[in-house]
Amino acid sequence: MAISKIVSYEWDYVILQEQSLVPCTDKEKFIATVRKLCTMISQVGAKVILYETWAYRRDSEKLASTGMTYDEMNRRLSEAYNEAAEATGAVVARVGDVFARIMNSGNITHLINQNDNYHPSTSGSYLAACVIFRTITGKQTIGLPCPSNVSLYNLSVIQKVTDSFV
């Protein structure tokens, strides 16, 4: 169904995101799927952006159940998305890398939803939007509006890290 929607319109960009564990646990399958989708998407002339996801929260049972550390999951995600981009000519929206930079700095701790430990919080969703915006436009994110429940501190950190890293 998604493929029929993609090929039925002249998109400028198509953003692909995989479930977080697949690139870590079956990189070859992930890359093969990205190749297949990129071939179809290229038929409509769209540019493909790969939405790189992030590791589960460091102290969560969900992460522990993977058998990976936080840093290992981040590394595997980054490697898989970068390899898929190299194999297909897609561009990586380095959301996971920006998440990791901020989380490892200790500047913001609530990018991940506290209820499930892997989906983004509002600040995490804003971070993803900033990274995708910068990836597509190349423009600075400083000055972009944000949801009212993202603190000015989080806003500042997210925009500064995104603009310096992406």
> Where are the alpha helices (H) located in the chain, listed in sequence order?
2-7, 22-25, 27-42, 61-66, 70-88, 95-105, 122-137, 152-165
Q: How confident is the model at residue 7 (pLDDT cuts 50, 70, 90)?
A: confident
Residue 56 has pLDDT above 80, yes or no: yes
Residue 68 has pLDDT above 70, yes or no: yes
Q: How far apart are CA 2 and CA 160, in angstroms?
A: 35
Residue 53 has pLDDT above 80, yes or no: yes
Rounded to two decimals, what is the model's pTM? 0.94
Closest by CA position to 127, among listed 90, 102, 152? 102
Mean pLDDT to the nearest integer, 110-114: 86
Q: What is the DSSP letter of 57?
A: P
Domain ranges of the chain: 2-165
pLDDT of 165 reads: 93
- List CB contacts of 117: < 8 A, sequence separation 6 or more: 56, 57, 60, 61, 62, 63
The CATH T-level fold of domain 2-165 is Rossmann fold (3.40.50)
